[in-house]
Amino acid sequence: MKRDFLTILDLTHKECDQILNRAIDIKGSINNATTPLRGKTIGLLFEKSSTRTRVSFEAGVYQLGGLPIYLNPSDTQLGRGETIADTARVLSRYLNGIVIRTYEHARLTEFTDNAAIPVINGLTNSHHPCQVLADLMTIKEKKGTLNGIKLTYVGDSNNVANSIIEAAWLMDISLTIACPIGFEPDTGILERAKGADISITDSPEDAVSGTDVIYTDVWVSMGDKMDAAEKKERFRRFQVNDKLLSFAKPDAIILHCLPAHRGEEITSSVLDGPNSVVFDQAENRLHTQKAILELLI
């Protein structure tokens, strides 16, 4: 029976922990010669532009012995009106698995419902689970554990925030979200994480007080329909800067899924400062995605 990875909640607590531990092992292997994807082909169907997701998956598939095939919808029959369902059925005859990066989450689920191969969510407007696995790995790598960690997310309640909320529920992490009034997380996401230690505030200073991890993301995401200038003005008070960092623990780490808009959601002094681990975090996309591929394909 095929396994898909569309949201963090497609994993059990045990499976998530296994992926994180395996990713750490992969990263620590000097001569990692395992090639479980030898003779297998993985499609990368990307409707949104990408740097880290595309390159890390292409490199990861190759390093595991497989062949990655990048599929731009404008170069396929999807760009000429072929249905998602028909595309899924056809690609299932050629590929052993597929990573999809698209806009509406419903497009991903429609493809998954019609595919006979494992489907991995490379990003939708609603979820970014591969990113958040790398985030969890980075926290575990830097702090030694996820147990007892206080995580603070400062910024827009976007797809990354949604997946962090699900991860907090799954892995028993204490999560505080700081955002302007009116930009709180979707109630459906919060309902799915009911029972988790999650709090929401419009005070970024209170949110980061005594925290172990500060995480932020761009204020205006790809496909965001709100006026960019208006939204930036609403979020100006939520910039992660040296002053805000001073409220956190001295050894708090800074996460950002990148790309960063320096001088907007985060200052260069923090992004490039001693507390920042964002480039380790970016590297860890490769290792967690290799662990995901090993589990699913």
Across 201-230, b (16+ Cβ under 10 Å) vs e yields ebebeebbeebbbbbbbbbbbeeeeeeeee
- 29/200 Cα distance (integer angstroms): 39
Q: For the CA atoms of 288, 292, 293, 297, what is the dihedral angle to 10 degrees?
A: 170
Q: Residue type at 222?
A: M
Q: Residue type at 95?
A: L
The catalytic site residues sit at 101, 128, 131, 217, 257, 285
Q: Which residues contact 204 (CB under 8 A, 6 or more apart)?
A: 154, 178, 237, 238, 244
Read off the tokens for 170. 């799954």
Q: Which residues contact 236 (CB under 8 A, 6 or more apart)?
A: none
